[in-house]
Structure 1
Amino acid sequence: MAIHELFAYIRVKGAERAIAFYVEAFGAKEKFRLVEPNGRVGHCELELGKGVLMLSEEFPEYGILGPQSVGGASVTLHLHVDNADALIDRAVTAGATVTRPPQNHFYGERSGSVRDPFGHEWSIGHEVEHLSPEEMQRRYTAMFSKA
Structure 2
Amino acid sequence: MAIHELFPYLCVHDAKAAIEFYCKVFEVKEIFRLTEPSGRIGHAELDFHNGAILMISEEFAEFGILSAKTLGNTSVSLHLHVDDADAVVARAVAAGATLDMAPQDQFYGERSGVFHDPFGHRWNVGHSIEKLTPEEMQRRYTAMFTDAG
State the AA in 1 paired with 2:84: N
Question: What stretches of structure 1 of length at least 5 have no aligned partner?
Answer: none
Alignment of 1:6-21 (within 5 A): 6-21=6-21
2:143 is matched with which residue? 142
* Structure 1: distance between partners of 2:98 and 2:126: 16
1:37 is matched with which residue? 37
| CA distances 1:41-84 after superposition (whole Å, capped 9, x unpaired) | 00000011221000100000111001110010110111101110
Report how many residues are paired.
147
- Aligned-residue sequence identity (percent) comes to 60
* Structure 2: distance between partners of 1:55 and 1:68: 14
SS in 2 for 1:86: helix
SS in 1 for 2:21: helix
Moved over 3 A (4+): none
State the AA in 2 paired with 1:23: C
1:83 is matched with which residue? 84
* Structure 2: distance between partners of 1:25 and 1:82: 13
1:22 is matched with which residue? 22
Say what the alpha-carbon RMSD is for the aligned residues: 0.7
2:96 is matched with which residue? 95
* Structure 2: distance between partners of 1:97 and 1:48: 22
Q: What is the TM-score normalised by the length of structure 1?
A: 0.98
Q: What is the TM-score normalised by the length of structure 2?
A: 0.96
